[in-house]
Amino acid sequence: MFSTRTNKPFLLIPLLLLPSAHAIVSIYQTPQQSILSAERVASSAAAAGTPIPYKGLPAYNTTGLQAPPPPEAGSFPTQVTLQLADAPMLNVSIPQKSSFFGFSIEMSVVNQVLGSNASVLQVPFLNLMANLQQRTGRIDIRVGGNTQETATLVDSLDDGRIIEKDHALATNPTGTPPLRFTPELLYMLRNISEHVNIRWHLGVPFNDTSNFRLQIAEQGQAILGDYLIGLQVGNEPDLYVSHNHRPPDYGPEDYFHEFGSLIQAMIADEDKLTPRPKTLLLGPSIQFNWTAEEVWNTGFIDAYTDNLAFLSVERYPNDNCAVAFPNDPGQTFHDPQKSLNQYLSHGATSGALQLYANSTSIAVQKGKPFLMFETNTASCGGFSGISDAFAGALWGVDWGMKLASMNFSGALFHVGGQSVSYNPFTPPPSNESTFHQWSVGPIYYSALVVGEAMGTSNTSQVLDLQNSAAAVFAPSFTPLADQFAAYGIWENGHLARILYINFVTDASGAHDVNVTMNLDQPILQGSVQVKYLQAPTVAQKGNYTWAGQTFGGNFQSDGRPVGTENIQSITCTSPTQCTVKIPAPAAALVFLSPTGGQDATQKGAPQTTFATTAITKFRNTATVDPLVLSTSNGRSGALGVGSTSPEGTKNSGPVVRVGFTMVIGGVLIGAIFLIIA
């Protein structure tokens, strides 16, 4: 029950008087959160025609890389035959939860991404999550990151803020100033969960293990209740030494003991804490400076089995740290153009994750879910041209599915600020939020695809067909090409869906792959349904489509997909054989049966959308040319309130009760004239 909040009146009364079916918006005044400062180029200059180097915030960089040339003829099979069984095949994964693909949101940017406070939520965020909820029923999100370690919960902050960086205390050598936040942040998470079924992981500050600050656990449990699912204990402890957070001899044993100290502190605090939080702990959340085995060898899992809700690691397959920290001589420069191939290779993904195979097998034996707790294309902000291009979307699908096939139990893709390239979704800079919308990145599309691949049943078992000796016959036993991936998904014990990825870019069609699926049982019903994730090249930024729907380019999305969903029906040769084309490049999700398993056309839950800034702007700015608005929104003719269907499952009734004030409307009009002038 959400009844703990008694001391704080809500300032929503006038807003609640607005007609509740529309007039819904969040307006945003947050301090710029850019970690890497970047000079922003006026948008008029960018439109002037001559290509000028992009100097703005990395999250909105439109300069791209070159798609690699296609592989030579003969080295890339375009006719593939798979032999598949209706019953789960050898080496198939454990049953995966629908919420496998989730997000990790850097704590310092929650007031950009989630909302200003518990009453002003970011509507595009809610829409983006509602799209996923429709497909999966639930989304798991971690709020934390490096900034959680020194965060302190305080009663209140100036100007009603819910979070602030204490620059006066910026002694942290990574340049991350300590955060202070108020319980309002936790109420905001709770209110979000009232609208969309999001479950939250939080982190206990771990900078001072002799004097734990447990308030986030106390208040987190009190405010979030069952919506709190995990408490991280230490973020990347294997990097503490190099960040000067621990003495030079700090190692896995020390982490083991500190973990134990935290449990003792939680037991001592049980009056305030209640018993549940100490059963939600997760660790060790290492990158790869220690091996996971070094941590297991301390006895970690058995010693803390009653407290460990999850085991966790964090991993980015590459880094852009030389660019992010140019003054750090220890960093190696990775050329983005050369690095691109790594993200278009199933072998590279499998290889990078192989070091966890032993650990996931230990986790399965011990009955502990094993999480990839923070991941994305590349650490230190990602690579522009990869992390924010179609290559990133295909990589995200492959990385997510590979993790599922390896018996990970979840993967949380990181969301940073406007200084990073890899965001699944990015709000506009706060001073432009009245006329710009959100930018939806490639990883969000990965989430949609993996979400639908998993479905809602919590029974999906995944097999990497590339690695399955039993599955591949092309035409005799041959592994699939490195730039091609295939996964089988069994649901309730039957083959339900197959996911393919073609990483090659070739508009000529010469590298499109025809996959023939041979089934051991006559389960095909005349046709299969296929949804494609597509863009013309792997280098394209924005305008990707998933089953024909898109979120446009930078600043174009209110979080709702635009366009009509386009599901291809492919006629099969027989009840045991079907051939599907996978264009270069694309991912394709093949639904074997419209009725068995999950229906391609009828997703898990009814679509819930939240009326948006666009609608409110439209209603509040009658003097502004509607064309300008519809362009900035990336859609035309779809602004009607009637297109929303608020009758969701748990989201029924009037949603986010936030409105536009006249003052804000005035700012809006001014801002729009500024842009069109």
The type of residue at 29 is Q
Question: To the nearest whole angstrom, how small is the minimum distance from the Cβ of residue 617 to ligand NAG?
Answer: 16
Which of residues 284 and 429 has its CB atom nearest to ligand NAG in the complex?
429
Rounded to 10°, the helix 123-136/183-195 angle is 50
Helix then strand then coil, % of the chain, to nearest 5: 30, 20, 50
Q: Which CB, 19 or 270, lies closer to ligand NAG?
A: 19
Residues 6+ apart with CB under 8 A from 172: 150, 178, 243
Q: How far is the CB of 273 from ligand NAG (least distance, A)?
A: 20
61/505 with CB nearer ligand NAG = 61
Select 66 or 601, whichever has its Cβ closest to ligand NAG. 66
Contact 27, 664 (CB under 8 A): yes
Is the Cβ of residue 270 or residue 636 nearer to ligand NAG in the bound state? 636
At 61, the amino acid letter reads N
Smallest separation (angstroms) from ligand NAG to the CB of 623:
20
Q: Taking the CB of residue 22, how many other CB atoms lie within 10 A of it?
A: 20
Q: How far is CA 302 from the centre of its chain?
A: 31
> From the CB of 656, what's the least distance to ligand NAG, in Å?
5
Toward ligand NAG, which CB reaches closer, 260 or 553? Answer: 553
Identify the three-state secondary structure at position 204. Answer: strand
Task: Tell me the angle at which helices 390-405 and 346-353 cross, rounded to the nearest 10 degrees.
Answer: 50
State in angstroms the smallest separation of the CB of 30 from ligand NAG.
8
Output 32 or 576, the one with its CB closest to ligand NAG: 32
Q: Would you say 270 or 631 has its CB closer to ligand NAG?
A: 631
CA separation for the pair 316, 314 (Å, rounded): 7
Report, in Å, the least distance between residue 171 CB and ligand NAG. Answer: 8
Query: Is the four-CA dihedral 149, 153, 154, 159 of positive or negative sign?
Result: positive
Whose Cβ is closer to ligand NAG: residue 116's or residue 529's? 116
Helix (H, G, I), strand (E, B) or coil at 314: strand
Least distance from ligand NAG to the Cβ atom of residue 197, Å? 8
Compute the half-sphere exposure of residue 207: CA atoms within 13 Å on the CB side of its CA: 17
Nearer to ligand NAG, 238 or 482 (CB): 238
Q: At its nearest, how many Å lie between ligand NAG and the CB of residue 385?
A: 3
Please list, in sequence order, all residues whose beta carbon lies within 8 angstroms of the beta carbon of residue 402, skipping any fewer than 6 positions away. 346, 349, 350, 353, 464
What is the smallest separation between the CB atom of 40 and ligand NAG, expressed in angstroms? 3
Shorter beta-carbon distance to ligand NAG: residue 51 or 69:
51
Taking the complex as a whole, the smallest distance from the CB of residue 100 to ligand NAG amounts, in Å, to 10
Give me the phi and psi of 530, to 5 degrees please.
-130, 135
Measured from the CB atom, is 40 or 619 closer to ligand NAG?
A: 40
**Which residue type, as a one-letter code, is found at position 593?**
S
DSSP state of 246: S
d(CA 156, CA 111): 15
Measured at the alpha carbon of residue 624, what is the angle toward residues 618 and 625, in degrees to the nearest 5? 95
User: Looking at 279-389, which runs of residues are DSSP E strands?
Assistant: 281-286, 308-315, 370-375
Cβ distance 505 to 585 under 8 Å? yes
**In the complex with ligand NAG, which residue's Cβ is closer, 319 or 482?**
319
Cβ at position 126, least distance to ligand NAG in Å: 10
CA distances from 91 to 409, 476, 536 (A): 16, 21, 35
- The per-residue DSSP string of 495-515 comes to EEEEEEEE----TTSTT-EEE
243: exposed, middle or buried (Cβ count in 10 Å: 0-12, 13-18, 19+): middle
Identify which of residues 270 and 337 has a Cβ nearer to ligand NAG in the complex: 337
Supply the minimum distance, in Å, between the C-beta of residue 560 and ligand NAG: 16
Shortest distance, position 190 Cβ to ligand NAG, whole Å: 7
Single out the residue of 15, 23, 42 nearest to residue 119, CA to CA: 15
What phi, psi does 159 have (nearest 5°)?
60, 20
* Minimum CB distance to ligand NAG, residue 352 (Å): 15
512/76 Cα distance (integer angstroms): 10
| Contact status, residue 371 vs residue 284, Cβ threshold 8 Å | no
CA distance linking residue 231 with residue 216, whole number of Å: 9
Q: How far is the CB of 507 from ligand NAG (least distance, A)?
A: 14
Q: Which is nearer to ligand NAG, 260 or 654 (CB)?
A: 654
User: Residue 166 and residue 170: Cα distance in Å, rounded?
Assistant: 7
**Cα–Cα nearest to 12, from 661, 669, 616:** 661
Distance CA 34, CA 416 (A): 9
